């Protein structure tokens, strides 16, 4: 009987302990949720609205211990303007609650933004400069200040406007993945791109897969199997282009492989017209080139060596510039026709079976390539 009573007493103790544990857990969850709600309403939304002098509105907000969902979220332009800076039908935020309890940096597991738009506009200052001022000064490297593991943006319109430049990313789908304390950012992006620079229009569809290394600035970029399709720029267009690109600014390395399908409009360029006129004078025939062509371009720069190739089934242009030896080797081939130069940089010595007129034009082309190389070199510094 004593054993049975002891067991019963023990079971009661265990049940009481479980009930207390449940009550305590519920209390912790409730207090945490209450704290989060208070932080969201008073320390984040209200403070941003007051300090930035912007209206912040939403139709509904829901909370859980570590998740916030906002519907019909909007933030206005400066000075409580009636114009919107950015809006989204749905915003989901999930974060790690532990750093919040210890008053450490909030780590966001993910931020989802769907069906919206945002405008980045610069007149004197950017229209978001006042929001940036709300964040305290932080001397840590840029990647250490970005505490977002995953950012997903779906069906978004992003407008970037400054001076005579306007860029619209329409129907944007963007995904950014970042391991906290890592300088690597994996980015995928799909969008229709509309661009206007000094009233010159460009349209394209882009599908980007990239890895970017950021410390205090972008140091390394890798684009893998990135596709640009249906590009239209002035008189030029192409069906699609596939690009692989690698840039390392510390190592001063650049590597690109670009394959363009159905390039159109090149016949209207002044350079092509000059070549076609010269060809006709020499051979009394029109230059037999299709209206649309496929084109491949490879470019590589490493330390002091720059290699460049442009080619398809009909012709090939290759250029190798060596800074150490101050040498530039250039070659053009199309069937039996050729143009060659192997000489000091800026002093091309051209040989060809075209004639002197083409040789003079080739010298200008070679010098132009060298100038383009110098511009690329300056950007990699």
DSSP one-letter string for 308-349? EEEE-SS-EEEEEEETTTTEEEEEEEETTEEEEEEEETT---
- Residue 116, domain member (yes or no): no
- Cβ burial, residue 140 (10 Å; 0-12/13-18/19+): exposed
User: How far from 285 is each of 277, 281, 356, 358, CA to CA, in Å?
Assistant: 10, 8, 18, 16
CA-wise closest residue to 263 among 288, 297, 286 = 297
- Residue 212, domain member (yes or no): no
CA 129/CA 83 separation, integer angstroms: 17
- Residue 275, domain member (yes or no): yes
pLDDT of residue 23: 44
pLDDT of residue 28: 43
Count of structural domains, the chain: 1
Sequence-separated (6 or more) residues with CB below 8 Å from residue 31: none
> For residue 323, what are the domain limits?
235-381
Two tokens, residue 33: 């949720």
- Residue 320, domain member (yes or no): yes
Q: What is the CA radius of gyration of the chain?
A: 30
- Cβ burial, residue 238 (10 Å; 0-12/13-18/19+): buried
User: How far from 221 is each of 66, 303, 377, CA to CA, in Å?
Assistant: 33, 17, 16
CA-wise closest residue to 283 among 339, 359, 354 = 354
Report residue 219: phi and psi, to 5°. -105, -25
Asked if 156 and 145 touch (Cβ cutoff 8 Å), the reply is no
Site of tokens 């010098």: 367
pLDDT of residue 80: 75
Burial 44-76 (b: 16+ CB within 10 A, else e): ebeeebeebebbbebeeeeeeebebbbeebbbb
For residue 256, how many C-alpha atoms fall within 13 Å in the half-sphere facing its CB? 20
Asked if 239 and 227 touch (Cβ cutoff 8 Å), the reply is no
CA 314/CA 337 separation, integer angstroms: 11
User: How far from 186 is each of 71, 114, 177, 200, CA to CA, in Å?
Assistant: 28, 20, 5, 32
- Considering all CA atoms of the chain, what is the largest pairwise distance in Å, rounded to the nearest integer? 121
User: Could you tell me the pTM of the whole model?
Assistant: 0.76
Two tokens, residue 153: 């943006």
- Residue 209, domain member (yes or no): no
CB-CB neighbours of 362 under 10 Å: 21
Asked if 56 and 83 touch (Cβ cutoff 8 Å), the reply is no
CA-wise closest residue to 214 among 243, 249, 172 = 249
- Residue 199, domain member (yes or no): no
- Residue 33, domain member (yes or no): no
- Residue 52, domain member (yes or no): no
Site of tokens 């069937």: 335
pLDDT of residue 66: 82
In sequence order, what DSSP letters do the residues of 351-362 get, joined into one string?
EESS-HHHHHHH
User: How far from 129 is each of 40, 120, 124, 233, CA to CA, in Å?
Assistant: 22, 10, 10, 32
Helix, strand or coil for residue 163? Answer: coil
Per-residue pLDDT of the chain (381 residues; tens, 9 = 90+): 444 455 455 555 555 545 544 444 444 444 455 555 555 555 566 666 777 788 888 888 887 778 889 999 998 988 777 889 999 999 999 988 776 666 667 788 999 999 999 999 998 888 888 887 777 777 777 777 788 899 999 999 999 999 889 999 999 999 999 887 788 889 999 999 999 988 888 999 999 998 888 777 778 889 888 999 999 988 889 999 999 999 888 888 889 999 999 999 888 877 677 777 767 776 777 777 788 889 999 999 887 888 999 999 888 989 999 988 989 999 988 888 888 999 898 888 888 887 776 777 778 878 887 887 777 667 655
């Amino acid at each position: 009987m004593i054993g049975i009573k002891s067991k019963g007493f023990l079971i009661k103790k265990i049940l009481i302990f479980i009930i207390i544990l449940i009550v305590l857990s519920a209390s912790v969850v409730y207090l945490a949720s209450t704290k989060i709600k208070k932080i969201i309403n008073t320390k984040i939304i209200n403070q941003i609205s007051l300090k930035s002098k912007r209206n912040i509105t939403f139709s509904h907000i829901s909370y859980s211990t570590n998740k916030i969902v906002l519907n019909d979220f909007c933030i206005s332009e400066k000075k409580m303007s009636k114009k919107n800076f950015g809006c989204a039908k749905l915003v989901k935020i999930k974060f790690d609650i532990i750093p919040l309890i210890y008053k450490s940096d909030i780590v966001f597991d993910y931020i989802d933004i769907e069906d919206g738009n945002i405008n980045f506009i610069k007149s004197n200052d950017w229209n978001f400069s006042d929001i940036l001022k709300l964040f305290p000064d932080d001397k840590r490297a840029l990647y250490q200040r970005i505490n977002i593991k995953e950012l997903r943006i779906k069906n978004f319109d992003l407008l970037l406007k400054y001076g005579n430049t306007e860029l619209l990313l329409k129907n944007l789908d963007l995904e950014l993945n970042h391991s906290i304390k890592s300088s690597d950012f994996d980015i995928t992006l799909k969008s229709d791109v509309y661009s206007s620079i000094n009233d010159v229009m460009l349209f394209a569809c882009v599908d980007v897969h990239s890895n970017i290394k950021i410390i205090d600035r972008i140091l390394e970029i890798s684009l893998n199997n990135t596709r640009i399709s249906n590009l239209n720029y002035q008189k030029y267009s192409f069906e699609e282009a596939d690009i692989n690109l690698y840039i390392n600014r510390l190592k001063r390395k650049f590597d690109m492989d670009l394959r363009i399908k159905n390039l159109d409009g090149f016949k209207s360029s002044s350079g092509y017209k000059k070549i076609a006129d010269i060809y006709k004078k020499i051979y009394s025939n029109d230059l037999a080139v299709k209206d649309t062509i496929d084109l491949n371009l490879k470019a590589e720069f490493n330390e002091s060596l720059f290699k460049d190739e442009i080619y398809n089934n009909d012709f090939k242009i290759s250029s190798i510039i060596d800074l150490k030896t101050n040498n530039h080797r250039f070659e053009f081939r199309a069937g039996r026709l050729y143009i060659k130069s192997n000489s000091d940089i800026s002093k091309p010595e051209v040989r060809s079976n075209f004639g002197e007129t083409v040789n003079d034009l080739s010298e200008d082309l070679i010098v132009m390539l060298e100038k383009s190389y110098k511009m690329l070199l300056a950007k990699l510094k």
